Structure 1
Amino acid sequence: MPLLQALDLRRNYGDLNVLKGINLTIDSGEVVSIVGASGAGKTTLLQILGTLDRPDTGELHIDGQNVFQLNDRQLARFRNEQIGFVFQFNNLLPEFTALENVCLPGFIAGKLERDVRERAESLLSTLGLRDRLNHLPSQLSGGEQQRTAVARALINEPAIVFADEPSGNLDSRNAEDLHQLFFRLRDELGQTFIIVTHNEVLAALADRTVTIRDGVLFT
């Protein structure tokens, strides 16, 4: 069974047809990039695949769950436990340390504080941030901030991580480091990534690249 299966997803905003019947299958452990011109529907697709928005019609199955059959509260819980997000602008909370930022989704999930902190410290250490645990985001470099965001995305051991232009705000060296990190996490943890990107280098590294054009997906 695929880890993710999208079936005939459609999304309209008034008279504008943004998604026109999207079908997509993702297997566990894949790194898949989604590319396309601005306005093609990439962000809308990512928001629906990540359960941040609901389609007008169609189905989305993640890890065996038909997610849009869930009510809003159930869906929020599913999202917290099974989905991780990495955004172009890392969205770290400025008043919390790197460690605290990473812990937050675990605390929201109701996990034991000791277990959450232990996993957060382990993830940050794995990502080369052992000496930066108690630093605020403003005290971290851009690359360190994004690695902290990756650790936060992984804290609840999600089935899948969605990344929206994750290296778009980084210089070329930090972008390359982040790209390699995704594949290391795939190899070491079996993590699945779906990455929306304009970065041709990152797209080329992916196991598979799909293109969205005028609301239609081309594989």
Structure 2
Amino acid sequence: MVMLKAENLHKSYGSLHVLKGISLTVNRGEIVSILGSSGAGKSTLLHILGTLDKPSSGRVWLNGQDVFQLSSSALASFRNKHIGFVFQFHYLLPEFTALENVCIPGWIAGEKKHVVEDRARSLLNMMGLGDRLHHRPARLSGGEQQRVAVARALINQPDLVLADEPTGNLDSAHALELHQLFQELKKQLQQTFVIVTHNEALARLSDRQLLIQDGQLIAHHDHQLSV
């Protein structure tokens, strides 16, 4: 079942034409990696798919909703409910505990405090962080911080998680652990991921790889997973 569809996306910043007519689909429960050199347009594409930026032309549908037809306030609400984000830099708030950092998007969405906290505890336990609930980010390792960020991305039970270089600040062992975690979340939650990465070895753990070159989608490869 197609969850995400992008059609003929173009994006320009002044005279710089970054995306040049990209179309793609992502199915529910699929892990798709986007590869390409720096400046190829990977992050720009991800930000548009996540509604953080608007295309110069083209359309994006998530669960059949033409997202850029929504008003700014409706789009912000839609994004918070349906899309989770994981970035290279974790963007955890240093004054809050791991549990509180994970809860914040749920509280913003207006859910009951205890419901959000229960779900956050469950997610952090799933991440192997059950004994780190009340640690602030400074007391967590880089890998632990990134797993907190993944739990935060999942707190509103989004349809789609977008990850922009999520292993960029991790060593190879922690990077592999994170990609294996994505696989487990796919199995347990039927979670859908689109991941921008430079790491070709880790991208091969995905269901599909999309290669972007000079703002165009030039190839994609299906991979049979062995995990």
Question: Under a length normalisation based on structure 1, what TM-score does the superposition of the two structures give?
Answer: 0.99
Amino acid at match of 1:31: I
Note the alpha carbon deviations across 1:176-217, whole angstroms, 9 max, x for none.
111100000001100000000001121111100001111101
Amino acid at match of 1:123: L
Partner of 1:151: 151
Partner of 1:161: 161
After TM superposition, give the deviation of residue 78 of structure 1 in Å: 0.6
Q: Distance in 1 between matches of 2:213 and 2:72?
A: 30
CA RMSD of aligned residues (A): 0.7
After TM superposition, give the deviation of residue 63 of structure 1 in Å: 1.1
Q: Distance in 1 between matches of 2:201 and 2:108?
A: 35
Amino acid at match of 2:83: I
Residue 125 (1) aligns with residue 109 (2)? no
Question: Identity over aligned residues, as a percent?
Answer: 63
Partner of 2:201: 201
Q: Distance in 2 between matches of 1:2 and 1:71?
A: 24
Q: Could you tell me which runs of 5 or more consecutive residues in structure 1 were left unpaired when the two chains were aligned.
A: none
Partner of 1:72: 72
What secondary structure sits across from 1:156 in the alignment? Answer: coil
After the TM superposition, which segments of 4 or more aligned residues of structure 1 sit over 2 Å from their partners?
Answer: none
Q: Could you tell me which runs of 5 or more consecutive residues in structure 2 were left unpaired when the two chains were aligned.
A: 221-227
Q: Distance in 1 between matches of 2:216 and 2:201?
A: 23
Amino acid at match of 2:31: V
Q: Distance in 1 between matches of 2:159 and 2:64?
A: 11
Amino acid at match of 1:128: G
What secondary structure sits across from 1:132 in the alignment? Answer: coil
Note the alpha carbon deviations across 1:107-144, whole angstroms, 9 max, x for none.
00000111000000000011100000000000001110
Question: Under a length normalisation based on structure 2, what TM-score does the superposition of the two structures give?
Answer: 0.95
Q: Distance in 1 between matches of 2:130 and 2:179?
A: 20
How many equivalent pairs are there? 219
What secondary structure sits across from 2:22 in the alignment? Answer: strand
Q: Distance in 1 between matches of 2:100 and 2:84?
A: 16
Mapping for residues 170-181 of structure 1, pairs under 5 Å = 170-181=170-181
